[in-house]
């Protein structure tokens, strides 16, 4: 989809449809549109069809006006980025139900931050175009281009910057959604490795992307016995995917993103209940988000170095599978008593976090659908964040606010860490029934003492259930906003 910014006279612009954010009191831009459309907006307000309330959408078919369709988006009461992003997505979804090919967006939602508004519009437009690409006969939306309009010439450069960033983030979200939605018999560890290699083949002018795929033998040489213990019960070979984006000087320390990719999680010997187990194909959404970020970086070519590490495996029960009570030795040399084989994500992450140190990172962030406990704590609204560096946590919280992809911080106190004690190893892989998200973070923190690290638990936000079941593409917006700020 093509995005452009313009400050030309509205009457000179051509589009199938126009989207106008407005409240019940018309802005100067809304008054211009009202005049061009024969006072149709005044009429909709006067007859009660449109009240201008937060997120309200009304489509007006106006065959006699320059814009054959005007979609009004209510703005009264919109007070934060999350509400604005939700409203914009609602308008985009309404537009996609039409046969429009070109659309004109009248700016004005964020008069003090045109770049942010344009970014939200482009991201939401691209994200709303997503259709599952296999086993789905739905026709893709016809939309081909969007022009973001602002009356001020001085705002166009900011709008153009925002459009480029938002479009790349939206496409990155769609990459993550597609990988998450694929069935586990297609999206295997080997398939994820193939997708990483495809992204690395992108031709870049100012940056480069390379991949390295480590197989079982490579991981055995590295003594990644914790990661490999999870793969023991599966016939699918595990992969450690390393994708390296270099956007600036090679001596600049990278941000390392570690994405959990359990392509199907049965729970292993600690078998999960059958109800809802189909959704365990989403247990690789952390790894999918890393690939989504890499796809966005390839488009934007931000001046930053980023390494993606994706431990990919299935967690299945068979005669070789790890058993509760088994003890394994991690790459770091620390031993782990596996009390529950369904607490497998931390077992593949800990070796990956140890491996991350070889890149001499500036920062390490792991992303994982790690615990059901985070859903109990935060629901489907915010991801959990735990960190050994408060400034890093603050930066992620701020990036979450700006990207409308929020996170909430949980503590890493020693009282929680003590719950991981084991009589037979350096630690147990679970800490009991209480504070499950925190004790999982405490487990990972034992492998990250040599660098700044944060853990994102996205079990509540990476996908939704029910009638709209599907991957969300989160936390690609959060991570891209964080990297954008780091690249400045």
Measured CA to CA, the distance from residue 332 to residue 73 in angstroms comes to 54
Per-residue tokens: 27? 């802005």
Alpha-carbon separation of residue 201 from 20, 161, 168, 209, 311 (angstroms): 40, 25, 17, 7, 21
Catalytic residue from among 86, 164, 272, 486: 272
Catalytic residue from among 69, 260, 346, 474: 346
Measured CA to CA, the distance from residue 142 to residue 17 in angstroms comes to 12
Return the bridge partners of 245, or none.
209, 306
Alpha-carbon separation of residue 244 from 86, 217, 316, 392, 466 (angstroms): 33, 21, 30, 22, 36
Whether 346 is catalytic:
yes
State CA 344 to chain mean position distance: 22
Per-residue tokens: 200? 């690395």
Per-residue tokens: 472? 């969300």
Whether 484 is catalytic:
no
Measured CA to CA, the distance from residue 287 to residue 260 in angstroms comes to 5
SS3 state at 120 = helix
DSSP designation for 247: -
SS3 state at 239 = strand
Tally of residues, the chain: 488
Cβ 170 vs Cβ 92: under 8 Å: no
SS3 state at 188 = coil
**Which positions are annotated as active-site residues?**
272, 346
């Amino acid at each position: 989809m093509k995005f452009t910014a313009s400050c030309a006279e509205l009457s000179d612009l051509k589009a199938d449809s126009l989207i106008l954010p407005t409240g019940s009191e018309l802005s100067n831009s809304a008054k211009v549109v009202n005049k061009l459309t024969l006072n149709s907006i005044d009429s909709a307000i006067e007859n009660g069809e449109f009240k201008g309330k937060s997120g309200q959408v009304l489509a007006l078919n106006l065959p006699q006006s320059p814009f054959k369709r005007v979609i009004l988006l209510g703005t009264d009461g919109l007070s934060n980025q999350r509400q604005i992003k939700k409203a914009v997505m609602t308008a985009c979804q309404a537009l996609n139900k039409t046969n429009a090919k070109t659309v004109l967006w009248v700016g004005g939602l964020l008069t003090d931050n045109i770049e942010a508004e344009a970014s939200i519009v482009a991201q939401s437009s691209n994200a709303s175009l997503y259709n599952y690409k296999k086993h789905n006969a739905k026709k893709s939306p016809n939309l081909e281009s969007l022009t973001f309009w602002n009356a001020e010439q001085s705002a166009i450069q900011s709008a153009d910057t925002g459009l480029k960033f938002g479009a790349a983030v939206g496409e990155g979200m769609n990459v993550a959604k597609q990988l998450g939605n694929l069935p586990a018999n297609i999206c295997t560890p080997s398939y994820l490795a193939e997708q990483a290699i495809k992204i690395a083949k992108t031709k870049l002018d100012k940056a480069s992307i390379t991949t390295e795929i480590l197989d079982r033998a490579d991981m055995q040489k590295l003594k990644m016995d914790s990661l490999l213990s999870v793969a023991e019960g599966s016939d699918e070979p595990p992969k450690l995917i390393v994708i390296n984006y270099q956007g600036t000087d090679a001596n600049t320390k990278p941000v390392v993103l570690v994405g959990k990719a359990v392509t199907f999680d049965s729970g292993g010997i600690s078998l999960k209940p059958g109800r809802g187990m189909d959704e365990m194909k989403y247990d690789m959404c952390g790894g999918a988000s890393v690939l989504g970020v890499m796809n966005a970086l390839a488009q934007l070519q931000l001046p930053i170095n980023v390494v993606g590490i994706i431990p990919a495996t299935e967690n299945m029960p068979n005669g070789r599978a790890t058993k509760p009570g088994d003890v394994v030795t991690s790459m770091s040399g620390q031993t782990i008593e596996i009390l529950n084989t369904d607490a497998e994500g931390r077992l593949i992450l800990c070796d990956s976090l140890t491996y991350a140190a070889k890149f001499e990172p500036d920062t390490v962030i792991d992303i994982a659908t790690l615990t059901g406990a985070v859903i109990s704590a935060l629901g489907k609204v915010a991801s959990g964040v735990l960190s050994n560096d408060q400034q890093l946590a603050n930066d992620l919280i701020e990036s979450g606010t700006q990207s409308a992809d929020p996170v909430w911080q949980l503590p890493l106190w020693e009282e929680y860490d003590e719950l991981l004690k084991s009589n037979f190893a350096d630690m147990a892989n679970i800490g009991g029934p209480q504070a499950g998200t925190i004790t999982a973070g405490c487990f990972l923190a034992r492998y990250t003492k040599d660098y700044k690290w944060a853990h994102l638990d996205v079990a509540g936000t990476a996908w939704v259930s029910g009638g709209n079941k599907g991957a969300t593409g989160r936390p690609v917006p959060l991570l891209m906003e964080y990297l954008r700020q780091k690249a400045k």
